[in-house]
Amino acid sequence: MSAIKGPAIFLAQFVSDKAPFNKLDTIVKWAAENGYKGIQMPTGNDDIFNLELAANSQDYCDEVMGICRDAGIEITELSTHLQGQLVAVHPAYDELFDNFAPKHLHGKPQERTEWATEQLKFAAKASERLGLKAHATFSGALLWHLVYPWPQRPAGLVEQGFAELAKRWKPILDAFDEAGVDVCYEIHPGEDLHDGATFERFLKAVDNHPRANILFDPSHFVLQQLDYLDFIDRYHDRIKMFHVKDAEFNPTGRSGVYGGYEDWKERPGRFRSLGDGQVDFKSIFSKLTQYGFDGWAVLEWECCLKDSAQGAAEGAPFIASHIIEPTKHAFDDFAGAEASEERNRRILGLKD
């Protein structure tokens, strides 16, 4: 069995225009001071990390790795969550998702999709230059507005939607395959890949592509009321990335899974800081260790109540306390005896 690495932290929710969160050298020092050994790198802010430059310059990648190394930090993965979302956008969401793209692409959905696809291919090459083996992203969604079957969905609609999604992602997956990097889709409401069944549909549509894998985040399973432990049992061979994020679900007679359009604080399903929610992390870390997951345990902070600074400070020791050092021998080895085929036959009562 392999050990889970960590603790690490996803920087997306912390990057800002204020020190120490506005420059790479200062934000990695902040992460190290809070007890983290790794960072998951967002790729939407050139002041922190220039994705296109990283795809084209080994010198730049060496410089970035040097800055991290000087702080005692390792880059765990790159993230293109926002760009991945833009690979597939239904027109109903065009105006909202324009915010994820550069201003010159606003109102230009075709050009926006082409830009997003190029960004993902940059991420494949940049990951290769950085020596990374996995990449975090979203799948995007053409079908999300149809998730609840009312009115009735026409026959073949879902299959067509996944065929189109696969058509857009196959060239990207091939680029990652060439780079030797796994694409890890965060299973997430709002994406066409939002549970096990939809991941299976996508996997079939991309011909079981070896680079189509999973970013496992149990918080999104709590909000959907999915069994996240059974999910690990079913899909552990495709789980290549792990977000450690807590959540809670407290339904009432007034609101449930859909949330009633309430703000996050008033929703039955809410993201919480580590240890404040309902996720059974002991069982999750045990299962992942049992199946030999040797990736990073990465804090993603999105609590609706607790300040981010407190959440980050509490997150590293929480993760460290859950990482299991796999045993190197069976607990009853002390009672063992030398084995041989002849002795085993005698024990079985077999005569020569």
Please write the tens of the pLDDT for every residue from 313-338.
999 999 999 999 988 877 676 666 77
The pLDDT profile of the chain, 352 residues, written as one tens digit per residue, is: 689 999 999 999 999 999 999 999 999 999 999 999 999 999 999 999 999 999 999 999 999 999 999 999 999 999 999 999 999 999 999 999 999 999 999 999 999 999 999 999 999 999 999 999 999 999 999 999 999 999 999 999 999 999 999 999 999 999 999 999 999 999 999 999 999 999 999 999 999 999 999 999 999 999 999 999 999 999 999 999 999 999 999 999 999 999 999 999 999 999 999 999 999 999 999 999 999 999 999 999 999 999 999 999 999 999 999 999 988 877 676 666 778 898 888 889 997 6
pLDDT for residue 334: 65
Residue type, 318: F
Cα separation of the two ends of the chain? 39
pLDDT for residue 294: 97
Q: Which residues of 88-114 are buried (b: 16+ CB within 10 A; e: fewer)?
A: bbbeebeeebbebbeeebeeebeebbe
pLDDT (tens digit, 9 = 90+) per residue, 26-85?
A: 999 999 999 999 999 999 999 999 999 999 999 999 999 999 999 999 999 999 999 999
Work out the angle at residue 248's Cα, subtended by the Cα atoms of residues 244 and 251, and round it to the nearest 5 degrees.
Answer: 155
133 Cβ neighbours under 8 A, 6+ residues apart: 127, 180, 181, 182, 240
Q: How far apart are CA 267 and CA 251, in angstroms?
A: 8
pLDDT for residue 335: 65
Domains of the chain, earliest start first:
5-347 (3.20.20.150)
Closest C-alpha among 52, 45, 53, 51 to residue 23: 45
Q: How far apart are CA 304 and CA 169, in angstroms?
A: 33
